Chain A
Amino acid sequence: MKVAVITFPGSNCDYDCYQALKTLGGFEPEFRWHRDEKLGDVDAVLLPGGFSYGDYLRSGAIARFSPIMEAVVEFARSGGPVAGICNGFQILCESGLLPGALLPNESLLFRSYDVHIRVETVKTPFTSAYERHQVLRIPIAHGDGNFHADEETLAELEGDDRIVFRYVDADGSLTPEANPNGSAHHIAGIVNASRNVLGMMPHPERAVEPVLGSTDGAGLFTSLRRHLEGAMA
């Protein structure tokens, strides 16, 4: 399985994504530079976290006009699996592949610690290896993670089972304290209508082996592997 990891100027989780794919096995990760115009023959795309273009203007606003993004949008529109993590989520919202926007955290503080998120749907290429309502412990590290969308969009996301992860406490309850950034409906991750594009603020690639403190993020990659194996079978 070839997975393209896109590096923008200011990306800082590209090697983490690369390493997670290597560690978990079954993937051949390859970097693509933001100036590349072609993805080449790949099976999935990861947009990593970081501060592309210094977060100038708005997080993700300038990265979406990188030459490579045209190829990513085309890949996504043709049904290819694309996951954006943290800054990658912001880029996907700015590019219109996902609805909504990520505003500054309600606290105005950069939040960097482990949170609990609940798997809300397993009907995506990225979550099929989890149980519905499974609680994961995964780190976050962001200043602009406050998911916002109008009421109509939120109702659509809820109604179509497109909210993938929500911030919860360790017991899986939606307490206000468990929401680290003020996100509407405790949203930590969503998919697009055709379910092949995922955006999430927490960092599953930083939770894939015991030495990192949690292995709860591994399921995202094993789900993707299973999905791609199924697609090829």
Chain B
Amino acid sequence: MSRFDVEVRIKPRPGLLDPQGKAVHHALESLGYDGVSEAKVGRLIALTVEAGSESDARDRVEEMCRKLLANPVTEDFSLRITEAPTATDGDG
């Protein structure tokens, strides 16, 4: 078993009204930052997962996303997976 750090990025689906993103965009404009054509606000969920391989970790987290972490009606998700550094401090 290896440990993987998985970042789950959840974003409002394209075309969906995102009032938070709109408010952030508006605030950026008021601060004088022009050239920002869009802002979307989502969530980042950081998991540490034990799995036999990277693809196992991906399969399991994708299932978690479909079941709980993202709402398929309103949100899209993407994953970024990296192998976690092995613990070397002899705590086990």
**Chain A interface residues toward B at CB < 8 A:** 57-58, 61-62, 65, 93-94, 99-101, 103-108, 146, 148-150, 182
Instruction: Assess whether A107 is in contact with B17, with CB atoms less than 8 Å apart.
Output: no
The answer to whether B17 touches A148 (Cβ under 8 A) is yes
Quick one: given A57-B68, A148-B74, are A103 and B23 in contact (CB under 8 Å)? no
Given contact pairs A103-B74, A148-B73, A148-B74, A108 touches B19 in the complex (Cβ within 8 A): yes
29 contacts between A and B (CB under 8 A): A57-B68, A57-B69, A61-B68, A61-B71, A65-B68, A94-B71, A99-B73, A100-B73, A101-B71, A101-B73, A101-B74, A103-B16, A103-B74, A104-B19, A105-B19, A106-B17, A106-B19, A107-B19, A108-B19, A108-B20, A108-B23, A146-B17, A146-B19, A148-B16, A148-B17, A148-B73, A149-B73, A150-B73, A182-B19
- The answer on a CB contact under 8 Å between A182 and B73 is no
Per-residue CB proximity of B54-74 to A under 8 Å, as 1/0?
Answer: 000000000000001101011
Chain A contacts of B73 at CB under 8 A?
93, 99-101, 148-150
Q: Is the interface of A mostly helix, strand, loop or mixed?
A: loop
A14 to B72, CA, bound (A): 29
Closest to B23 in A: A108
Residue of B nearest to A109 (CB): B19
- Chain A residue numbers with a CB within 8 Å of B17 are 103, 106, 146, 148, 182
Q: B residues within 8 A CB of A107?
A: 19
CA of A58 to CA of B73 in the docked complex: distance in angstroms? 12
Q: How far is the CB of A156 from chain B (nearest CB, A)?
A: 14
Q: A57-B69, A65-B68 are in contact. Are A104 and B74 (CB under 8 A)?
A: no
Q: Which residues of A contact B20 (CB under 8 A)?
A: 104, 108
Interface string of B1-34 (1 = CB under 8 A from A): 0000000000000001101100100000000000
CA distance A85 to B17 in the complex (A): 23
A145 to B71, CA, bound (A): 15
